[in-house]
């Protein structure tokens, strides 16, 4: 290790710049918005523009401003079981979806990694291709497929798997939400898995086979443990945004599909309660950030 | 929002707006409900005045309200419904209309103006665009199949759990507009529809939670197509929306026959109104646009297209006979007497309504 912290401190200004930019980015696009939301979460609703008070009006009245802030909204989050069950339901839907994504994405990624190198770019292209159509349109397409008078019903009628007087009842249920989420997030699961599996040293498997290890055992002893970083990366990339997902449950889900993104929407739009909506958002962020940080620390210790 | 920094920005923005406005392309930014105008009206307006219309749509009063309350929405003409208008006026969202520029205002319907004054004292901030009722829309054949040959003329069809249970098979939609649905349920329970009493709100919520297991969907926009396609068979809905579903089904020739009824217990009467946000940049163009919409033949064209009654009395001789004579659109005097309006929910009552409605939607 030639680089020590002291030599880094003496480094050239351009180096400092490179290090500062990501932090500046974080402050500007994460810390500052978060602080604003946190501030709103401590205020009260009002019939005004913007619909909460107090509004920060300069440093002269800072004391007065601060004295009006309180944690009332966080208390009402605890007071109503709706929020807790919305958080839990979101985590449940995200966990099940991530598991489904792994079960579908892993074989796909493995097949891609084991495919002859000449067709790999084509396979890669096929995974990325759906991104060329708007996400919203692809979710809408699922409505056309899953709705009672939709394509799936028509197809099942045509092949005789369903009686003509019956219709599929998937649209506006949790099943439709799972279908939509798994479909939309699949590339985000496959790509990290593929990049982990592609790097895998094939000679390890040959050695295992020479020493009499059956293929399924070799998979669990060698392939899967070595692909673990890809599994974790893919799961994180999917799990976190799915927890806060709004569009898919709103378009495909039924009225009883309880997700925190929708609860937040109702507080913000239906109830005009920006302070409470902000409190919901802050708690959601903490609920996701804390386990991630703990997990990362754990990972570093392992290394 | 009174920091010096923001004021500087506002001045800069105004200066910028002034320079762009002096250029030849004049614009008006309109934010209206979806499926709510004959698009040729906008083209004609641009042809006549040279003002370009930037037209954007919403399907929920809360969307409009949130944009307006956040400030800087960028819209010059918006179309809020009565109680929302009243609350937004209180929040300081709107500019007063310059009546000297609205020369066509004499065409308006005094009765509608009076009812609208309940929300906007002295009609200072808004003029009516369309008005209508919230009733029951249904697929004639499918309802006959599940309920038999009974007259559909009462809220009992949806609110009686034993009836709702039968509707489950063919698809029941509840309108996602708690302000109105609570008033309708209170009226059904023979209570004051405008009650802000917590016990009353809970009683109204009970009406809906009892039929919750039988509802296929709860929305305020998708139901138009769902009804036209046969994906749902009955809905609580807005008069014109259901007549549009009827029109779409007829055009698609899919054999779906749709009807709209105002139940005999009476129902909610609503007003959608044209107003100008206080921070609108194209105020002159906004007035020109509103004045254009108050021309009898123009607003009649809109009514013929969207199947809603308008608040313009002089326009009635230009409205198609089948629209004007349709009691679902222009109710008879006797039915008008059974229509009610409500004042906005605020503070505690609003929280109660949203909480009860959210629980109802989530089926809890």
> Does residue A51 belong to the interface with chain B, where contact is any CB pair within 8 Å?
yes
What is each CA distance from B355 to A66, A255, A258, A301, B198, in whole angstroms? 29, 15, 14, 46, 11
User: From first to last of its 303 residues, what are the pLDDT tens digits of chain A?
Assistant: 444 455 555 567 888 888 899 899 999 998 999 999 999 999 888 888 888 888 777 777 777 777 777 888 898 888 888 888 899 999 999 999 999 999 999 999 999 999 999 999 999 999 999 989 999 999 999 999 998 888 999 999 999 888 888 888 898 889 999 999 999 999 999 999 999 999 888 889 899 999 999 989 999 999 999 999 899 889 989 999 999 999 999 899 887 788 999 888 888 887 788 999 999 999 988 888 877 887 777 777 666
> Does residue A89 belong to the interface with chain B, where contact is any CB pair within 8 Å?
no
Of B230, B346, B361, the CB nearest to A255: B361
**ipTM, 2 dp:** 0.74
> Does residue B68 belong to the interface with chain A, where contact is any CB pair within 8 Å?
yes
Q: What is the DSSP string of B211-252?
A: HGGG-SEE-SSTHHHHHHHTS-SEEEEEHHHHHHHHHHHHHH
- What is the chain B residue with the closest CA to A150? B231
Quick check: A256 and B65 CB within 8 A?
A: no
Q: What pLDDT is attached to residue A56?
A: 75
Q: What pLDDT is attached to residue B24?
A: 61
- What is the chain A residue with the closest CA to B63? A269
CA distance A173 to chain B (A): 9
Any idea which residue has 């004054």 for tokens?
A: B117
Quick check: B92 and A49 CB within 8 A?
A: yes
Of B71, B350, B359, the CB nearest to A49: B71
Q: How far apart are the first and last CA of chain A?
A: 17
pLDDT at B351 over 50: yes
pLDDT digit string (tens) for B51-62?
999 999 998 888
pTM of the predicted model as reported, rounded to 2 decimal places: 0.80
A81 within a domain of the structure (yes/no): yes
- What is the chain B residue with the closest CA to A253? B217
How many domains would you assign to chain A?
1
**CATH code of domain B4-132+270-330:** 3.40.190.10
Of B2, B231, B363, the CB nearest to A148: B231
Quick check: A269 and B91 CB within 8 A?
A: no
Q: What pLDDT is attached to residue B51?
A: 96
Of all residues in chain B, what percent carry a pLDDT higher than 70?
93
CA distance A88 to chain B (A): 14
- What is the chain A residue with the closest CA to B356? A82
Q: What pLDDT is attached to residue B13?
A: 52
- What is the chain A residue with the closest CA to B178? A270
Q: How far apart are the first and last CA of chain B?
A: 40
Q: Which residue has the higher pLDDT, B185 or A266?
A: B185
Domain harbouring A95, CATH code:
1.10.3720.10
Q: How confident is the model at residue B35 (pLDDT cuts 50, 70, 90)?
A: confident
**Fold match flag (B4-132+270-330 vs B133-269+341-361):** yes
Q: What pLDDT is attached to residue A1?
A: 42
Q: What pLDDT is attached to residue B165?
A: 95
Q: How confident is the model at residue B142 (pLDDT cuts 50, 70, 90)?
A: very high
pLDDT at B237 over 60: yes
CA distance B82 to chain A (A): 16
> Does residue B364 belong to the interface with chain A, where contact is any CB pair within 8 Å?
yes
| Span B70-93, average pLDDT | 94
Of A57, A148, A270, the CB nearest to B354: A270
pLDDT at B20 over 60: no
Q: What is the DSSP string of B69-103?
A: HHS----SEE--BHHHHHHHHHTT-BPPP-GGG-G
- Chain B neighbours among A 151-180 (CB < 8 Å)? 172
Angle between helices A81-114 and A174-198 (to 10 degrees): 40
Q: What pLDDT is attached to residue A183?
A: 96
| Span B59-71, average pLDDT | 90
> Which structural domain, as residue segments, surrounds residue A81?
71-302
What torsion, rounded to 10 degrees, do the Cα atoms B246, B248, B254, B256 define?
-10
Q: What pLDDT is attached to residue A45?
A: 83
Q: What pLDDT is attached to residue A11?
A: 62
> Does residue A54 belong to the interface with chain B, where contact is any CB pair within 8 Å?
no
Would you state the structure tokens that stand for residue A176, as one six-digit string?
């439709």
pLDDT digit string (tens) for B270-294?
999 999 999 999 999 999 999 999 9
Q: What pLDDT is attached to residue B242?
A: 94
Quick check: A47 and B87 CB within 8 A?
A: yes
CB B273 within 8 A of CB B252: no
CA distance B342 to chain A (A): 17
How would you classify the pairing of strands B126-139 and B51-58?
A: unpaired
CB A237 within 8 A of CB A188: yes
CA distance A188 to chain B (A): 30
CATH topology of domain B133-269+341-361: D-Maltodextrin-Binding Protein; domain 2 (3.40.190)
pLDDT at B117 over 80: yes
A26 within a domain of the structure (yes/no): no
Domain spans of chain B? 4-132+270-330, 133-269+341-361
A64 within a domain of the structure (yes/no): no
């Amino acid at each position: 290790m030639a680089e020590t912290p002291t030599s880094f401190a003496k480094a050239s200004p351009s180096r400092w710049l490179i290090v500062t930019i990501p932090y500046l980015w974080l402050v500007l696009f994460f810390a500052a918005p978060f602080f604003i939301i946190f501030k709103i979460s401590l205020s009260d609703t009002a019939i005004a523009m913007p619909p909460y008070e107090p509004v920060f009006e300069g440093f002269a009245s800072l004391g007065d401003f601060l004295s009006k802030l309180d944690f009332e909204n966080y208390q009402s989050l605890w007071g109503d079981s709706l929020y807790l069950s919305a958080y839990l339901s979101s985590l449940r839907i995200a966990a099940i979806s991530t598991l489904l994504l792994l079960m579908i994405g892993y074989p796909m990624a493995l097949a891609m990694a084991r495919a002859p190198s000449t067709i790999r770019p084509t396979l890669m292209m096929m995974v990325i291709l759906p991104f060329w159509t708007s996400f919203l349109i692809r979710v809408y397409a699922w409505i056309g497929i899953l709705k009672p008078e939709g394509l799936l019903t028509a197809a099942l009628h045509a092949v005789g798997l369903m009686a003509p007087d019956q219709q599929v009842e998937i649209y506006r249920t949790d099943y439709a939400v799972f279908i939509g989420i798994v479909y939309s997030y699949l590339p985000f699961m496959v790509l990290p898995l593929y990049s982990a599996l592609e790097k895998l040293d094939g000679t390890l498997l040959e050695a295992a086979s020479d020493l009499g290890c059956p293929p399924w055992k070799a998979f669990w002893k060698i392939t899967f443990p070595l692909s673990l970083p890809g599994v974790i990366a893919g799961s994180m990339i999917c799990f976190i945004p799915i927890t806060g997902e709004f569009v898919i449950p709103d378009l495909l889900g039924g009225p009883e599909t309880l997700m925190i993104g929708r609860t937040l929407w109702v507080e913000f739009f239906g109830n005009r309660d920006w302070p409470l909506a902000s409190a919901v958002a802050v708690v959601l962020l903490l609920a996701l950030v804390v386990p991630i940080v703990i997990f990362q620390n754990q990972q570093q210790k392992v290394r | 929002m009174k920091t010096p920094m923001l004021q500087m920005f506002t001045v800069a923005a105004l200066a910028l707006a002034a320079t762009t406005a002096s250029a030849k392309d004049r614009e008006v930014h309109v934010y209206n409900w979806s499926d709510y105008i004959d698009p040729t009206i906008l083209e004609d307006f641009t042809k006549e005045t040279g003002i370009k219309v930037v037209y954007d749509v919403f399907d929920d009063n809360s969307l409009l309200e949130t944009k307006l309350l956040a400030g800087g929405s960028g819209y010059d003409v918006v179309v809020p419904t009565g109680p929302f208008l009243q609350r937004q006026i209180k929040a300081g969202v709107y500019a007063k209309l310059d009546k000297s520029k609205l020369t066509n205002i004499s065409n308006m319907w005094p009765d509608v103006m009076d009812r609208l004054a309940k929300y906007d004292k002295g009609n200072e901030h808004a003029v009516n665009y369309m008005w209508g009722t919230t009733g029951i829309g249904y697929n004639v054949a499918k309802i006959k199949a599940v309920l038999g040959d009974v007259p559909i003329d009462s809220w009992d069809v949806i609110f009686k759990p034993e009836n709702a249970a039968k509707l489950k098979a063919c698809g029941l939609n509840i309108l996602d507009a708690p302000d109105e649905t609570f008033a309708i349920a209170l009226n059904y329970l023979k209570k004051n529809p405008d009650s802000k009493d917590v016990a009353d709100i809970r009683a109204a919520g009970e009406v809906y939670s009892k039929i919750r297991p039988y509802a296929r969907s709860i929305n305020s926009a998708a139901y138009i197509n769902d009804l036209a396609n046969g994906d749902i068979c009955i809905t609580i809905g807005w008069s014109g929306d259901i007549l549009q579903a009827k029109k779409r089904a007829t055009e698609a020739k899919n054999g779906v026959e749709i009807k709209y009824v105002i139940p005999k217990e009476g129902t909610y009467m609503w007003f959608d109104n044209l107003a100008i946000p206080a921070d609108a940049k194209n105020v002159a163009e906004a007035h020109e646009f509103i004045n254009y919409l108050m021309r009898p033949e123009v607003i009649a064209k809109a009514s013929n297209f969207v199947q809603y009654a308008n608040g313009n009395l002089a326009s009635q001789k230009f409205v198609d006979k089948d629209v004007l004579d349709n009691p679902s659109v222009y109710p008879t005097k006797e039915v008008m007497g059974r229509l009610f309006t409500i004042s906005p929910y605020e503070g505690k009552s609003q929280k109660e309504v949203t909480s009860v409605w959210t629980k109802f939607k989530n089926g809890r």
